[in-house]
């Protein structure tokens, strides 16, 4: 019997996942990988197989069910952060997932995003006003995070002044920190949201928390733990990802400065530019963990029951069998069905908001500045050490009026 080789990844993986995926692809599209933390998982790097994994009901998302428990033991890892704060839709299968998802889809619908669009424009302009006059800034901390964070805070009903506080708790939850450190961050966040519940019980507002706390038209009502987990899922899903997308888009514009004139001359191109940024540098690296509930054939492998499977969005979106010239950033690409927002029943419910926030942020920046360039050598840029986020730690840029 042949034994599958395990590909052991070093810390360098986080800085340059694409070269790791290129190497892995020489062996096929499904790989048994050991991450620097010691976690073992099956990583899918091919586009068609990724869609199959996202859609296969035999592959579970129940982190807190038996599939998740067995798979964590087999993978030599602890992924769980005990409920309630993390017991949200991303880690649930139908029918529980269906119920939670319906509520999230309503909260983040195109109509909600459309109504909120003028406010996002105001937020972007006012954040730009705050650092006007400075010719060099960290684009992520001074612009991308404040725009994405303030937007979602207003929708949820969180005071924007608290943004940096809970952003730290969120970043820790998705980092590679020890489980007890992540758990402590989740508990701090839980305490914070409970205080918001108390405030809303005193006086309801025009915000998502107030809406979730009141009975809905169809009689379904989330309990307090479910609302807490929903708020956590939406914040975890949104702030870092949208900021990451804005940061990655600005990085593209600094490494290929001709894009700035093209986009300024034709702002209608900005959505296509962002889609190509999502494909080329996907804001996410690996999608969230899935667990096999029965043996399955995947690519050239038979994967046993109780294993962790991860779809590498960053690899899938550069699959040469699916995308022409995958390593070239081409804003005029005719076909761009990337999987940066996932696929199937867990596909990102915040995609419309993410696209709108990023489009507004990039358009406002290009209107305000005639030239945006990197303020450090590109080799000095560092990426977050996260399996999930493909987000820079900082992005120092020079801005010229
Ligand atoms: C560029 C920005 C974003 C990217 C790249 C992104 C990516 C993704 C991906 C890949 C998934 C599926 C994960 C999986 O199946 O394993 C997902 C799910 C999710 N995203 Fe996003 N996301 C973004 C923005 C947002 C925003 C703005 C929100 C909320 C306001 C959000 C909330 C969620 C939630 C709640 C889920 C779980 C859905 C479910 O389990 O049914 N995301 N996102």
Domains in the chain, CATH or no CATH each:
6-400 (1.10.630.10)
Q: How far is the CA of 349 from the centre of ligand 1 (A)?
A: 6
Residue 180: the pLDDT is 86
**Which residue CA neighbors atom 9 of ligand 1 most closely?**
341
Q: Is 238 in the pocket of ligand 1 (CB under 6 A)?
A: yes
Pocket test for ligand 1, best of 60, 231, 241, 344 (most atoms within 8 A of CB): 241
As a dihedral over the C-alpha atoms of residue 104, residue 143, residue 132, residue 118, rounded to 10 degrees, the angle is -20
**Which residue CA neighbors atom 24 of ligand 1 most closely?**
238
Residue 386: the pLDDT is 87
Is 3 a residue whose pLDDT tops 60?
no
**Which residue CA neighbors atom 20 of ligand 1 most closely?**
348
State the average pLDDT over residues 36-44.
94
Residue 166: the pLDDT is 79
Instruction: Give per-residue pLDDT as tens, 298-315.
Output: 999 999 999 999 999 999
Q: Cα–Cα distance between 183 and 204 in angstroms, integer?
A: 30
pLDDT tier at 169, thresholds 50, 70, 90: confident
Q: Is 234 in the pocket of ligand 1 (CB under 6 A)?
A: yes
Q: Is 120 in the pocket of ligand 1 (CB under 6 A)?
A: no
- In 157-178, where does DSSP find H-type helix? 163-173
Q: Integer distance in angstroms from the first to the last C-alpha of the chain? A: 66
Is 4 a residue whose pLDDT tops 70?
no
Query: Which atom of ligand 1 lies nearest, measured to the CA of 108?
Result: 30
Which tokens in the block code for residue 265? 């001359």
**Which residue CA neighbors atom 27 of ligand 1 most closely?**
238
pLDDT tier at 327, thresholds 50, 70, 90: very high
Q: Is 243 in the pocket of ligand 1 (CB under 6 A)?
A: no
Q: What angle do CA 357, 359, 362 make, to 5 degrees?
A: 105
Q: How far is the CA of 238 from the centre of ligand 1 (A)?
A: 7
**Which residue CA neighbors atom 32 of ligand 1 most closely?**
237
Residue 352: the pLDDT is 96
Q: Is 310 in the pocket of ligand 1 (CB under 6 A)?
A: no
Q: What DSSP element (H or E) covers 201? A: helix 179-202
Q: What angle do CA 307, 180, 100 make, to 5 degrees?
A: 60
**Which residue CA neighbors atom 17 of ligand 1 most closely?**
348
Query: Which atom of ligand 1 lies nearest, measured to the CA of 290?
Result: 16
Residue 217: the pLDDT is 62
Contact 209, 226 (CB under 8 A): no
DSSP letter at 4? P
Instruction: Give per-residue pLDDT as tens, 62-104.
Output: 999 888 999 999 998 888 877 778 889 999 999 999 999 998 9
Residue 170: the pLDDT is 82
Query: Which atom of ligand 1 lies nearest, measured to the CA of 347?
Result: 12
Residue 86: the pLDDT is 86
Q: Choose between 51 and 164: higher pLDDT.
A: 51
Q: Is 391 in the pocket of ligand 1 (CB under 6 A)?
A: no
Residue 337: the pLDDT is 96
State the average pLDDT over residues 49-72.
94
Q: Is 287 in the pocket of ligand 1 (CB under 6 A)?
A: yes
**Which residue CA neighbors atom 18 of ligand 1 most closely?**
348
pLDDT tier at 165, thresholds 50, 70, 90: confident
Which tokens in the block code for residue 221? 């009502």
Instruction: Give per-residue pLDDT as tens, 269-290.
Output: 999 999 999 999 988 999 999 9
Q: Cα–Cα distance between 123 and 391 in angstroms, integer?
A: 22
Phi, psi dihedrals of residue 132, rounded to the nearest 5°: -55, 140
Q: What angle do CA 219, 224, 225 make, to 5 degrees?
A: 120
Name the pairing type of β-strands 290-292 and 301-303.
unpaired
Supply the mean pLDDT for the chain.
92
Residue 1: the pLDDT is 37
* Residue appearing with tokens 């519940």: 197
As a whole-number percent, the residues of the chain with pLDDT over 90 amount to 73
State the average pLDDT over residues 160-176.
80
Query: Which atom of ligand 1 lies nearest, measured to the CA of 344?
Result: 15
Q: Choose between 283 and 268: higher pLDDT.
A: 268
Is 8 a residue whose pLDDT tops 60?
yes
For residue 109, the number of C-alpha atoms closer than 13 Å in the C-beta half-sphere is 8
Q: Is 286 in the pocket of ligand 1 (CB under 6 A)?
A: no
Using DSSP, how many helices (H) and how many strands (E) does the chain show? 16, 11
Residue 195: the pLDDT is 92
Instruction: Give per-residue pLDDT as tens, 208-254.
Output: 999 888 877 677 788 999 999 999 999 988 888 999 999 999 999 99
Q: Is 100 in the pocket of ligand 1 (CB under 6 A)?
A: no
């Amino acid at each position: 019997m042949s034994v599958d080789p395990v590909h052991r990844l070093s810390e360098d993986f986080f800085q340059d996942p694409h070269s790791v995926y290129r190497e892995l692809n020489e062996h096929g599209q499904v790989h048994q990988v050991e991450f620097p933390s010691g976690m073992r998982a099956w990583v899918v790097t091919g586009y068609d197989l990724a869609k199959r994994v996202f859609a296969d009901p035999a592959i579970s998302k129940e982190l807190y069910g038996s599939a998740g428990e067995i798979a964590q033991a087999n993978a030599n890892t602890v992924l769980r952060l005990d409920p309630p704060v993390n017991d949200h839709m991303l880690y649930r299968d139908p029918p529980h997932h269906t119920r939670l998802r319906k509520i999230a889809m309503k909260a983040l619908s195109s109509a909600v995003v459309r109504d909120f669009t003028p406010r996002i424009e105001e937020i972007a302009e006012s954040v730009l006003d705050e650092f006007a006059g400075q010719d060099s800034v960290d684009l992520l901390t001074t612009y991308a995070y404040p725009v994405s964070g303030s937007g979602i805070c207003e929708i949820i009903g969180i005071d924007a002044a608290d943004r940096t506080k809970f952003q730290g708790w969120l970043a820790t939850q998705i980092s590679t920190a020890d489980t007890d450190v992540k758990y402590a961050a989740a508990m701090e966040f839980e305490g914070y949201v409970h205080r918001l519940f108390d405030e809303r019980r005193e006086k309801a507002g025009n915000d998502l928390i107030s809406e979730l706390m009141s009975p809905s038209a169809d009689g379904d009502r989330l309990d307090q733990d479910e609302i807490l987990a929903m708020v956590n899922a939406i914040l975890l899903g949104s702030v870092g990802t949208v900021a990451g997308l804005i940061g990655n888009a600005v990085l593209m514009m600094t490494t290929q400065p001709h894009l700035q004139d093209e986009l300024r001359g034709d702002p209608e191109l900005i959505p296509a530019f962002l889609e190509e940024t999502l494909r080329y540098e996907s804001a996410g690296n690996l999608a969230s963990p899935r667990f096999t509930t029965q043996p399955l054939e995947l690519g050239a492998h038979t994967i046993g029951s109780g294993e962790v499977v991860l779809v590498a969005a960053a690899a899938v979106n550069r699959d040469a069998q699916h995308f022409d010239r995958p390593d070239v950033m081409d804003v005029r690409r005719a076909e761009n069905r990337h999987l940066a927002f996932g696929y199937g029943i867990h596909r990102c419910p915040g995609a419309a908001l993410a696209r709108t926030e990023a489009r507004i942020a990039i358009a406002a920046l290009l209107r305000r500045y005639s030239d945006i360039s990197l303020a450090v050598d590109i080799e000095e840029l560092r990426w977050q050490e996260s399996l999930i986020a493909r987000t820079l730690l900082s992005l120092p840029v020079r801005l010229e009026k």
